[in-house]
Amino acid sequence: MIRQVKSQLALAAILSAIIAGAASAQDIYPNRPIKMIVSYAAGGTTDTMARVTAQKMSEILGQPIVIENKPGAGTIIAAEAAANAPADGYTLLMTATTTLSVNPATYRKLPYKPEDFAPISLIGKMAYTFGVSHTVPINDLKEFVAYAKARPGQLNYGTVGLGGSTHIFTKLVEDSLGVQMQDVVYKGSGTALTDLFAGNIQVYADGVINSLPYYQDKKMKVVAISSEERLAAAPEVPTFVELGYPDVVLYSYYGVMAPAKTPKPIIDKLNAAMVKALAMPDLQERIRQNGAVPESTTPEGFRTIIADYLKAYGDIARRHNFNLE
């Protein structure tokens, strides 16, 4: 009996030490560099927002956050790597809409699921622009609708990647406006824009950061945007909402995640760092320069955004039978 009691006491002591050690590790987190995986190549919008946010977080946390770019396969490569990483707070994922709110709605099979990640915070949201070639003789959305309805199936719109976020957005616009267009899939936005400028395609929708510079240089028309309010960078461009299409409100989002089983104290510490960083005017300005509206959230708030956008994009994808292998 005495031996059994001693064994139980020894086991309790070991468990207490393990628990105390884990708690201590969380208390001193982070004590080494953190890796942030980015699902796009260096130099793009997602990469830039990851780097400027990571820099501020590094200053707050007292440890460097190293960016690791893993582009390819529609963000699947990066997401799979992050989902399978140790859940210790030292591997993060800079995520965009495609990873958790588009791919699960369009791919029949993925090597990850949204539940494989623990949300930390949103960074910002970006509206879409609806661009039209100067070769199309219209001046506004109303004229475009009349022009397109008179030519069902004759107008071509460019989309980067089959079943991507901009492809789904364009389908939403088609449905809402009651027009029929033909999709032309491109590997990159550069070729699509070149064809738009030349009139080989008539329509091209994209994120604000990719379209506004060409609109401001008068290389394309932008007849509407998908935000609730007009953009400060182009206040003359109306929203779909004010033009009578209240269902055309859609954004792409950016945020940071961790592997699903990352301890809550670590998630909370990372969230606090992000909230503090995103309250800094200089970081807010950098995010705005990249076409997004800065916004921080709680982990639970970010989880809700991901789920809401998965439903929004998923409803459109299912309506148009997007089924990717």
**Would you list the DSSP string of 247-296?**
T---EEEEEEEEETT--HHHHHHHHHHHHHHHTSHHHHHHHHHTT-EE--
Point out the domain boundary residue: 191, 225, 259. 225
What is the structure's pLDDT at 5? 42
Of 225, 259, 287, which closes a domain?
Answer: 225
115 and 165 inside one domain: no
The answer to whether 117 and 78 are in contact (CB under 8 A) is: no
Whether residues 171 and 263 fall in one domain: no
Indicate if 217 and 116 belong to the same structural domain.
Answer: no
Instruction: Give the range of the structural domain holding residue 307, as residue numbers without chain letter.
Output: 10-125+251-319
Residue 74 and residue 107 share a domain: yes
The CATH number of whichever domain residue 192 belongs to comes to: 3.40.190.10
pLDDT at 27: 67
Same domain, 60 and 209: no
pLDDT given for residue 8 in this prediction: 53
Domain identity same for 117 and 134: no
Report pLDDT for 2.
47
Both 132 and 93 in a single domain?
no
Q: What is the pLDDT, as a whole number, of residue 20?
A: 45
Residue 140 sits in the same domain as residue 49: no
- Cite the beta strand spans of the chain per DSSP E: 34-38, 65-69, 91-96, 117-132, 155-160, 181-186, 203-207, 221-225, 251-259, 293-294
Cβ–Cβ < 8 Å for 69, 41: yes
Rounded to a whole number, what is the distance in angstroms from the first to the last CA of the chain?
62
Q: Please check whether residues 111 and 56 belong to one and the same domain.
A: yes
Predicted TM-score (pTM) of this structure: 0.86
| Residue 5 is assigned to a structural domain of this protein | no
Instruction: Give just the sign of the alpha carbon dihedral 258, 68, 79, 285.
Output: positive
Q: And the tokens for 22?
A: 């884990």
Of 180, 209, 225, the position where a domain reaches its end is: 225
Residues 99 and 169 in one domain: no
Instruction: Please give the tally of structural domains in the chain.
Output: 2
Q: What local confidence, expressed as pLDDT, does residue 6 receive?
A: 47
Asked whether the beta carbons of 157 and 182 are under 8 A apart, the reply is yes
CA–CA separation, 258 and 270 (whole Å): 10
Of 150, 149, 218, 217, give the one whose Cα is nearest residue 179: 149
- 135 plus 200 within the same structural domain: yes
Structural domain contains residue 1? no
- Examine the domain organization and report whether 301 and 272 are in the same domain: yes
Q: Along the 325 residues of the chain, how does pLDDT read in single tens digits?
A: 444 544 554 445 454 544 545 444 556 999 999 999 999 999 888 999 999 999 999 999 999 999 999 999 989 999 999 999 999 999 999 999 999 999 999 998 999 999 999 999 999 999 999 999 999 999 999 999 999 999 999 999 999 888 899 999 999 999 999 999 999 999 888 899 999 999 999 999 999 988 999 999 999 999 999 999 998 888 999 999 999 999 999 999 999 999 999 999 999 999 999 999 999 999 999 999 888 999 999 999 999 999 999 999 999 999 999 888 7
85 lies in a domain? yes
